């Protein structure tokens, strides 16, 4: 346990300054899909791969700032159908297992023997699934806003549970769907997000995205909420999320990620969770902590879901610093 003084020193650590990539590219991962990737920081540093949320959210330049650019070789990529990857918002050949294969193809393409894995929200889901599939390729894990893609988590956020906290944000999401279809919002939105009419798709995508963006911060973030007005972003975000949630994450069982913790128990891992996370409530982080007490759980008491909230960002930087020190100490 760190002393109080050391803890304060670490938590006052700001995000690292904005940096630009030193290399970018596109990797063809299937006959259909090509993914965008970039590298920043130290070309000879310890590799870390950033797994974005959604699925469908894509990466942004600010994602580079959680890592010390002098120590880390920072790899970001846009998952199938998201961000700069093509084809945009495509659901064909787009499953968790396809994404896991893509991560491996990217690692091999960049000639990286093993790397640290960092993921929040859906990124935590994918990080767990990837690590359980390839535990020998992962040097450490930093997970935020734990999402295990269980039925009770989907039901909480998309079938009315979270409406108890955000009724004002919920009503526009609910009201897009006629009353006779409100028995399952995932299915009702799926029909519209896959409509033959593009405007029907856009309207559903805007409503879906705004619901999530309005609930992602403890204190509403107007810049984040505006993403719901961007049809290009919203379509990929909503279509791909809905596709994954309809298919239960393509996992063979509801408890798949918890059932396979033994495969990654040895990996040095930090879990960062906002106490008042409405999108991915703390029950999931707690269930993971109970199954995996060896992982270090940090609960941020004044935060919701977003990695960009100050307390969560500070803990994520601190987690990377701790892994960095462990790597330096091991050399």
Q: Are 187 and 139 spatial neighbours (Cβ–Cβ below 8 Å)? A: no
Catalytic residue among 68, 102, 268, 277: 277
52 is catalytic: no
Residue 222 token pair: 């107007």
Buried b (16+ CB within 10 A) or exposed e, 61-74: eebbbbbbbebbbb
Exposed e or buried b for every residue in 237-248, given b needs 16+ CB within 10 A? bbbbbbbbbbeb
Would residue 277 show up in a list of annotated catalytic residues for this protein?
yes
Active site residue 217: no
Q: Which of 52, 243, 289, 305 is catalytic?
A: 305
> Tokens representing 203?
């309207």
Catalytic residue among 33, 68, 102, 121: 121
* Distance set, CA 215 to CA 35, 208, 225, 276 (Å): 29, 12, 9, 10
CA dihedral 93, 94, 99, 102 (to 10 degrees): 40
CA distance 12 to 141: 22
Find out whether 257 and 127 touch, Cβ atoms under 8 Å.
no
What is the C-alpha to C-alpha distance for residues 167 and 173, in angstroms, rounded to an integer? Answer: 10
User: Which residues are catalytically annotated?
Assistant: 121, 277, 305
């Amino acid at each position: 346990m760190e002393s109080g003084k050391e803890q304060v020193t670490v938590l006052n650590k700001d995000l690292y300054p904005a940096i630009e990539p030193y290399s970018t590219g596109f990797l063809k991962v299937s006959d259909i899909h090509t993914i965008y990737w970039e590298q920043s920081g130290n070309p000879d540093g310890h590799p870390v791969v950033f797994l974005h949320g959604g699925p469908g959210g894509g990466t942004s330049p600010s994602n580079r700032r959680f890592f010390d650019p002098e120590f880390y070789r920072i790899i970001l990529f846009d998952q199938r159908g998201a961000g700069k990857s093509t084809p945009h918002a495509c659901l064909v050949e787009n499953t968790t297992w396809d994404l896991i294969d893509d991560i491996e193809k990217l690692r091999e393409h960049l000639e990286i023997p093993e790397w640290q894995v960092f993921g929040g929200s859906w990124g935590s889901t994918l990080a767990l699934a990837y690590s359980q599939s390839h535990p020998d390729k992962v040097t450490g894990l930093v997970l935020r806003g734990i999402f295990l893609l269980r039925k009770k988590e989907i039901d909480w956020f998309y079938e009315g549970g979270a409406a108890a906290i955000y009724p004002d944000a919920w009503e526009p999401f609910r009201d897009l769907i006629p009353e006779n279809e409100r028995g399952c919002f995932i299915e009702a939105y799926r029909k519209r997000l896959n409509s033959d009419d593009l405007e029907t798709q856009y309207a559903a995508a805007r409503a879906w995205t705004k619901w999530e963006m309005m609930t992602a911060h403890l204190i509403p973030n107007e810049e984040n909420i505006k993403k719901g007005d961007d049809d290009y972003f919203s379509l990929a975000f909503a279509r791909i999320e809905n596709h994954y949630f309809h298919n239960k994450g393509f996992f063979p069982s509801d408890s798949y990620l918890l059932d396979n913790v033994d495969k990654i128990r040895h990996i040095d891992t930090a879990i960062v969770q906002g106490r008042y996370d409405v999108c991915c409530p703390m029950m999931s982080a707690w269930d993971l902590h109970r199954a995996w007490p060896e992982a270090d759980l940090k609960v941020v008491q004044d935060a919701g879901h977003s990695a960009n909230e100050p307390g969560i960002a500070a803990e994520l930087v601190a987690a990377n610093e701790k892994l960095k020190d462990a790597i330096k100490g091991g050399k």
